[in-house]
């Protein structure tokens, strides 16, 4: 008995030692950045005015099939860019692709090097009908007030397009000539499927370009505090994005008079299927970009969290359960299930002849549209419920390598223009979708990031009411692009 107790004590001592050593070794505070700040002079008033003006062109993508885009507005925006960035338009070749998208080519001095592709989109979502009166300033007014530029596109995504071109104009003004060829690829229908981004990619591949050293699109941002338990500022750089699949569940009934019903009508049977799906969500898995993110963040966390995150071999399930409490972090760990549409029945005294529901899934890397469909059929466990995919769908994108030189260039550029002590720059999983997904199979240096601070409040404004960007934040993005052009060129 004594021997057993001694052995147990020895085992406990070893486990505790491993936990403590792992914690010290893996998350010993944040190491200070060695990147020196770089001053980048910007024509601040001019840059702010140019983005404000860009907002005034109503380049709206309406819901698919309802209304075509206003090509006059898009062409007027093209002209605004031409007048705003004279050096860019003198030095770079600009082409129109897919009707209303823009492709700029800045030919490098060494065309054997892998190129760089900087993306953004010219279109914006419509203003939600009925909310016009809630805007502090008109959504297409391009008003500058209270330290912000207000209007549609100031966060999503004219901000990226204008900041990238400001960076290029600034670099040209300073006499910069890239070694790598740089492409600016600005689509015009990201908000309705992004077919123009695919056309831009196809055009570049047709020209035989090498896998880019960096593809950068919208997605993450600088988040001041409050990212899953950290206190400092975190820059989230999207390394992958989730897949998208909508499954329609349908049940056929026999119809007839409601006075003599079967035990389950078509609606009841459908409801059972939905209940089962919600009762059995997809498993939580802490791997890929979500794991990489937690590994970079743990250094700034309280000891208990650092201990848990440094010993995932033991605490992995506990950490995952903890993260799953909030929908935003749960979405990084699992394929999500959202029942979004339901339809069935016509009259109170008539048995329904059919009932349908649409369930939207956002698929985490590691699963596929096929594996999700398989899982859904197994959980529903009722062959009377038909399951079929409807509408737009895509598998999760391949995960980019955050240890590569493209990521390093993004991180260095950010630290040069945003030298905040304790800033953590980390890859993460984008739970929505961007045009960048098209490039993930060509370049493992495909990332999603805008170098501007975004609070949680800002994120609700992006497709909502009172979209706006802080003037200081926008100028960080401008400086970031100017540095990025140089840093990625030197990689």
Q: Quickly list H helices, 152-298.
A: 158-173, 195-206, 266-279, 288-297
Q: Which residue has the tokens 């059972």?
A: 272
153-192 residues near Zn ion, rule: CB under 5 A: 156-157
211-250 residues near Zn ion, rule: CB under 5 A: 218
Q: Which is nearer to Zn ion, 156 or 189 (CB)?
A: 156
- Rounded to a whole number of angstroms, the minimum distance from the CB of residue 467 to Zn ion is 11
- Rounded to a whole number of angstroms, the minimum distance from the CB of residue 460 to Zn ion is 15
161, 472 in Cβ contact below 8 A? no
DSSP label at residue 252: E
- Rounded to a whole number of angstroms, the minimum distance from the CB of residue 443 to Zn ion is 20
- Rounded to a whole number of angstroms, the minimum distance from the CB of residue 57 to Zn ion is 16
Q: Which is nearer to Zn ion, 157 or 395 (CB)?
A: 157
Q: CA–CA separation, 442 vs 139, rounded Å?
A: 37
Q: Which is nearer to Zn ion, 185 or 323 (CB)?
A: 185
Q: Is the dihedral of CA 407, 413, 417, 421 positive or negative?
A: positive
Q: CA–CA separation, 396 vs 363, rounded Å?
A: 6
Backbone φ, ψ for residue 363 (5° rounding): -95, 130
Q: Which is nearer to Zn ion, 69 or 178 (CB)?
A: 69
- Interface mask toward Zn ion for 120-159; x: CB under 5 A: ------------------------------------xx--
370-429 residues near Zn ion, rule: CB under 5 A: none
Which residues participate in catalysis according to the annotation? 123, 190
Q: Which residue has the tokens 């000539």?
A: 177
Q: Which is nearer to Zn ion, 223 or 292 (CB)?
A: 223
Backbone φ, ψ for residue 282 (5° rounding): -65, 150
- Helix 44-55 and helix 471-490, axial crossing angle in degrees, nearest 10: 100
Beta-carbon-side half-sphere exposure of residue 3 (alpha carbons within 13 Å): 0
Q: Which is nearer to Zn ion, 192 or 213 (CB)?
A: 192
Number of residues forming the site for Zn ion (CB under 5 A):
3
- What dihedral do alpha carbons 331, 334, 340, 344 form, nearest 10°? -160
- Rounded to a whole number of angstroms, the minimum distance from the CB of residue 192 to Zn ion is 11
CA 205 to chain centre: 24
- Rounded to a whole number of angstroms, the minimum distance from the CB of residue 434 to Zn ion is 7
216, 119 in Cβ contact below 8 A? yes
Q: Which residues bind Zn ion (CB under 5 A)?
A: 156-157, 218
């Amino acid at each position: 008995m004594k021997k057993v107790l001694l052995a147990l004590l020895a085992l406990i001592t070893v486990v505790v030692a491993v936990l403590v050593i792992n914690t010290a070794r893996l998350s010993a505070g944040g190491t200070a950045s060695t990147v020196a700040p770089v001053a980048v002079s910007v024509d601040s008033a001019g840059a702010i005015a140019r983005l404000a003006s860009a907002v005034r062109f109503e380049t709206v993508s309406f819901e698919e099939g309802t209304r075509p885009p206003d090509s006059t507005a898009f062409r007027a925006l093209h002209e605004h860019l031409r007048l705003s960035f004279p050096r860019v338009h003198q030095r770079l070749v600009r082409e129109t692709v897919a009707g209303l998208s823009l492709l700029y080519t800045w030919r490098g001095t060494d065309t054997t090097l892998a190129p760089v592709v900087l993306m953004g989109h010219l279109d914006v979502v419509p203003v939600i009908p009925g909310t016009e009166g809630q805007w502090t300033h008109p959504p297409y007014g391009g008003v500058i007030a209270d330290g912000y530029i207000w209007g549609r596109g100031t966060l999503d995504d004219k901000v990226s397009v204008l900041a990238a071109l400001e960076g290029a104009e600034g670099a040209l003004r300073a006499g910069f000539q890239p070694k790598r060829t740089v492409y600016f690829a600005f689509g015009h229908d990201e908000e309705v499927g992004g077919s123009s981004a695919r056309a831009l990619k196809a055009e570049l591949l047709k020209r035989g370009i090498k896998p880019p050293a960096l593809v950068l699109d919208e997605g993450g941002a600088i988040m001041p505090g409050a990212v899953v338990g950290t206190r400092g500022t975190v820059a989230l750089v999207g390394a992958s994005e989730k897949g998208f699949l909508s499954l329609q569940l349908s049940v056929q009934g026999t119809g007839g008079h409601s006075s003599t019903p079967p035990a389950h009508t078509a609606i009841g049977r459908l409801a059972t299927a939905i209940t089962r799906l919600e009762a059995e969500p997809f498993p939580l898995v802490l791997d890929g970009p979500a794991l990489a993110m937690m590994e970079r963040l743990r250094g700034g966390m309280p000891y208990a969290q650092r201990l848990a995150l440094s010993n995932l071999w033991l605490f992995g399930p506990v950490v995952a359960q903890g993260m799953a409490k909030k929908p935003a972090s749960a979405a990084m760990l699992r394929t999500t299930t959202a029942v979004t549409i339901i339809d069935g029945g016509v009259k109170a005294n008539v048995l329904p002849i059919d009932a349908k529901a649409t369930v939207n899934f956002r698929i985490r890397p590691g699963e596929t549209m096929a594996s999700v469909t398989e899982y859904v059929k197994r959980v529903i466990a009722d062959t009377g419920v038909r399951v079929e995919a409807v509408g737009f769908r895509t598998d999760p994108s391949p995960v980019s390598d955050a240890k590569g030189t493209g990521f390093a260039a993004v991180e260095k550029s950010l630290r040069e223009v945003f030298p905040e002590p304790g800033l953590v720059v980390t890859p993460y999983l984008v739970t929505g979708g961007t045009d960048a997904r098209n490039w993930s199979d060509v370049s493992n240096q495909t990332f999603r990031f805008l170098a501007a601070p975004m609070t949680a409040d800002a994120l609700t404004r992006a497709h909502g009411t009172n979209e706006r960007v802080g003037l200081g934040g926008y100028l960080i993005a401008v400086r970031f692009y100017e540095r990025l052009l140089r840093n990625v060129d030197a990689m």
